Amino acid sequence: MLSRFLSLFIIAGLAIAMAAGADLGAGTKAEELNVPAIVMFLLFVAGTLGITYWASKRTKSAKDFYTAGGGITGTQNGTAIAGDYMSAASFLGITGMVYLKGYDGLIFSIGFLVGWPVILFMISEQLRNLGKYTFADVTAYRLKQKQVRILAALGSIAVVILYLIAQMVGAGKLIEILFGLDYEIAVVLVGALMIAYVAFGGMLATTWVQIIKAVLLLVGTTFMSIMVMSEVGFSFDVLFTKATEIHSKGIEIMSPGGLVSDPISAISLGIALMFGTAGLPHILMRFFTVADAKEARKSVFVATGLIGYFYILTFIMGFGAIVLVLGDPAGSYLAADGVTLKGMNNMAAVWLAHAVGGDYFLGFISAVAFATILAVVSGLTLAGASAISHDLYANAFATGKVDEKKEMNVSKMATVGIGIAAIFFGIAFEEQNIAFVVALAFTIAASANFPVLFMSIFWKKLTTRGAVIGGYIGLVSALVLVILGPVVWTSILGNAEAIVPYKFPAVFSVPLAFIAIWFFSITDKSDDAQRCIDEFDAQDIRCQTGIGADGAVDH
């Protein structure tokens, strides 16, 4: 196994060296080769492959593979959850949004954060007490396994693939700019590394890669924020005054702008962000890696604190980028037009790293950004592979009659399959407008996964029919409403006006799913419906107390 890792590592190094050679030959084709960034990134890859090797020796059973044997502590898990949430999209995207629009960036951060207390109060302990490997363990607890598992797996795989496309395309573009590597090589490299982490190291490697990256990211962003504040004598008023003098929007960046223009959009965005988070399979899966409900709640406490802290930093960094990057006297970070940033406007955080810390710190932050993408795609891949092996293969089609070894092999094959699909989609979607995929992923998570999960935990009268029909209605309505919305209908299909004027149509699809679940449950008079209702009390006792829960720690 070790030799396989070594050869993979050498291949990765060769790919970088080859691309570097190609770029040096081609001269000005891509950005300049960033040597400190490549060195630091190779160190990260070497370290994480070492962890993967260590984890592979400890990953023997299915439980090890899916949940790291349940031996992750609350603090570790909370850090990993925060790492899952601090994706490249939030690090670069939110800093970039603050840089472009000022206050509006903060509105987005708050929307992303407020879902976490709700997850703590409503979902986290319940999940830990009822589930084993995937959230479908909870939704299928007293309902008919096959239909409910297929629904949950489809919802999970849809969210995972959409999220992966967004990450892969973003990764390819980012690496092209930061490291001077070709887009295709970057995408293949990300895909190959994530397959290695997940297939060999399972949840244990995935979790530790995520923890290391989260710590690196928090250290880096803390340093940048302190440097920004020291530049303005630690006075927010000086920071804001300078920023408004430099920014073309002037004083407007200090107040809510056009981001959230009408109440329905605002509420719909809020619902999608809040309940979408509670339906993301790669996040929900993390609650099974801790020993019990107590550690699960501690995870959310730690995660909420770290994510909140990180969002406050992105706000400081966004304003810092206005002052130090946009306001750079030599204009060295601007593209030829003198208005947009080199690369893209999402690069504000990266150029800020250079402005406050020079070439080496730029290299560090570039490597961290790459590591961030790797860690997040690994978590996604593991969640997708679990949906295929645990929900579809082991429980829906083989109806629980497979041995663990076979199930694990299927999940490793699924990991490779998802990895290859992600590479393929990443290359296929290079030139596409992918803004819609994140909207779609969050809307599906909020409309298909969350309502079924929530009702299965709290509502006694839920029946299989209600859950399945309601779940599919949520899934299909999310899909249709996003396609008819501004991002797909107008921007991609080129129609004049969107039929549904909301980017996140969760305000319609989520209630629709809940109503359908309710209606098709109460009108269900079958024998199975009565059985589902009768079994609720036992489920609820386990949910409330953890009595009878599969103890996650090996005894």
Contacting residues toward another protein, per CB under 8 A: 103, 106-107, 109-111, 113-114, 116-118, 120-122, 125, 236-237, 240-241, 244, 254-257, 260-263, 266-267, 270, 274, 294, 297-298, 300-301, 304-305, 308, 311-312, 315, 537-538, 541-542, 544-548
Sequence-separated (6 or more) residues with CB below 8 Å from residue 136: 148, 149, 152, 153, 156, 387, 390, 391, 395
**For residues 298 and 412, which CB has a smaller minimum distance to another protein in the complex?**
298
**For residues 118 and 479, which CB has a smaller minimum distance to another protein in the complex?**
118
**For residues 109 and 372, which CB has a smaller minimum distance to another protein in the complex?**
109
Closest approach of another protein to the CB of residue 292, in Å: 10
**For residues 124 and 147, which CB has a smaller minimum distance to another protein in the complex?**
124
**For residues 28 and 255, which CB has a smaller minimum distance to another protein in the complex?**
255
**For residues 69 and 320, which CB has a smaller minimum distance to another protein in the complex?**
320
Q: Would you call 535 helix, strand, or coil by DSSP?
A: coil
Closest approach of another protein to the CB of residue 165, in Å: 29
Q: Which residue has the tokens 């298909």?
A: 448
**For residues 46 and 267, which CB has a smaller minimum distance to another protein in the complex?**
267
Q: How far, in Å, CA of 391 to CA of 160, rounded? A: 15
- Which amino acid belongs to residue 173? K
Tally of CB atoms within 10 A around 241: 13
Dihedral of alpha carbons 444, 379, 214, 185, sign = negative
Closest approach of another protein to the CB of residue 300, in Å: 6
Which two tokens mark 253?
A: 């960046």
Closest approach of another protein to the CB of residue 272, in Å: 12
Closest approach of another protein to the CB of residue 295, in Å: 11
Which two tokens mark 233?
A: 């004598």
Closest approach of another protein to the CB of residue 448, in Å: 22
Q: Which residue has the tokens 């008919």?
A: 144
Q: Dihedral angle at the C-alpha atoms of 286, 62, 457, 473, nearest 10 degrees?
A: 90
Please check whether residue 165 is in contact with residue 26, taking contact to mean a CB–CB distance below 8 angstroms.
no
Sequence-separated (6 or more) residues with CB below 8 Å from residue 436: 482, 485, 487, 488, 491, 492
Q: How far, in Å, CA of 490 to CA of 43, rounded? A: 44
Q: Which residue has the tokens 């024998």?
A: 527
Tally of CB atoms within 10 A around 26: 11
**For residues 3 and 255, which CB has a smaller minimum distance to another protein in the complex?**
255
Closest approach of another protein to the CB of residue 366, in Å: 27
Please check whether residue 170 is in contact with residue 373, taking contact to mean a CB–CB distance below 8 angstroms.
yes
Q: Would you call 334 helix, strand, or coil by DSSP?
A: strand
Q: Which residue has the tokens 């260590």?
A: 54
Q: Would you call 290 helix, strand, or coil by DSSP?
A: strand
Which two tokens mark 194?
A: 């994530």
Closest approach of another protein to the CB of residue 243, in Å: 9
Closest approach of another protein to the CB of residue 368, in Å: 22
**For residues 39 and 541, which CB has a smaller minimum distance to another protein in the complex?**
541
**For residues 331 and 548, which CB has a smaller minimum distance to another protein in the complex?**
548
**For residues 30 and 260, which CB has a smaller minimum distance to another protein in the complex?**
260
Closest approach of another protein to the CB of residue 97, in Å: 14
Dihedral of alpha carbons 74, 539, 132, 124, sign = negative
**Spatial CA neighbour of 374 closest among 183, 527, 198:** 198
Using the CB atoms, write b or e for 174-201: b if 16+ within 10 Å.
bbbbbbbbbbebbbbbbbbbbbbbbbbb
**For residues 183 and 301, which CB has a smaller minimum distance to another protein in the complex?**
301
Closest approach of another protein to the CB of residue 297, in Å: 5
Closest approach of another protein to the CB of residue 555, in Å: 17
Please check whether residue 367 is in contact with residue 44, taking contact to mean a CB–CB distance below 8 angstroms.
yes
**For residues 107 and 427, which CB has a smaller minimum distance to another protein in the complex?**
107
Please check whether residue 392 is in contact with residue 156, taking contact to mean a CB–CB distance below 8 angstroms.
no
Closest approach of another protein to the CB of residue 105, in Å: 10
Q: Which residue has the tokens 């080129």?
A: 494
Beta-bridge partner residues of 389: none
